[in-house]
Structure formats: structure tokens, C-alpha cells
Amino acid sequence: MSSAGVGPLCFIKSTVNAAVYLEIFMLLSADALYGEADFIFQQDLAPAHTAKSTKTYFNDHVITVLDWPANSPDLKPIENLWGISKRKMRDMRPNNAAELKVITDTSSSITPQQCHRLIGSMPCCSEAVIDGKGAQTKY
């Protein structure tokens, strides 16, 4: 997700290593959301995100990556986006992978304006985490 909206959802049957991460998430999502425009990228510290090949890719493509603390769900706008998706899917009970793909419809109904508000809330979220000395916040 970005302040421009939600990127394409991909259903992956393999483990997400650095190569899969770069191919699917960076090349498809970043290109779909931004094209050639500059952006600042936020990611957590998952192994695929911190791999040498991932860091090299970001350096080679001049992508600014926001320094980010580990285990910081209050500071991840994507967590709030998942909450929106879960509420939209509240009455659905998928039993298998094919039925789970209904999340694609739910995801496409999330507007760029909703995403923009989530990203725009980050200064307040950051301030609340700082004021709370890292404790859980209302965000």
C-alpha cells in the first residue's frame, strides 16, 4: 500500500525470499503505484527485506528506505489497512485458498483516499509512540 492506493495482491505458494520479494513486491507493486516517481519505502526487518541483494537493489535503483524499528505494529499503516480489509470480510468464511482470493475484491474496494489518510496519520502515530515510550498506543 501507499498514499497512492493499494498495489496488486499476489498469492504466493513459495517462501518469500529476497528474490521473490524483489520480483513480486518491488517490481510489480512499486511500479504499479509509482511508475518512475520517487518515493520513500517502508518495510519491516523480515529477512527478505534486509538481505544483501535487497539492499543492493535499493541502492542501485536509488530507492530511499525509511529506517524502521523491529516489532512496531503501531507504526505500520498496513496493519490498519488489514483491519479495514478484515471488517469488510467479516461475514465471509473462506475454507480454502480459492475462496480466500475474495480478498482481492475487498482490497480493490479500498480507496486511495483511505490509504492517503492512513499514511497521513503516521506523524500522530509516531508522536504517540514516542510519548508512550514505546508502549502500545490507541493506534
How far apart are the C-alpha atoms of 65 and 43, rounded to whole Å? 8
Using one digit for the tens of pLDDT, what is the confidence trace for 87-125? 877 777 778 877 777 777 777 788 889 988 888 888 888
Question: pLDDT at residue 18 above 90?
Answer: yes
Nearest one of 86, 114, 78, 85 to 1, comparing CA atoms = 78
- Cα torsion angle, 132, 134, 138, 139, sign: positive
The domains of the chain are located at: 18-131
* The pLDDT value given to residue 54: 94
Mean pLDDT, rounded, for 55-68: 88
How far apart are the C-alpha atoms of 108 and 116, rounded to whole Å? 15
Using one digit for the tens of pLDDT, what is the confidence trace for 33-51? 887 788 888 888 889 999 9
pTM of the model: 0.71
Summary mean pLDDT of the chain: 82
The CATH number corresponding to 18-131 among 1.20.58.1290, 3.10.520.10, 3.90.870.10, 3.30.420.10 equals: 3.30.420.10
Mean pLDDT, rounded, for 133-137: 76
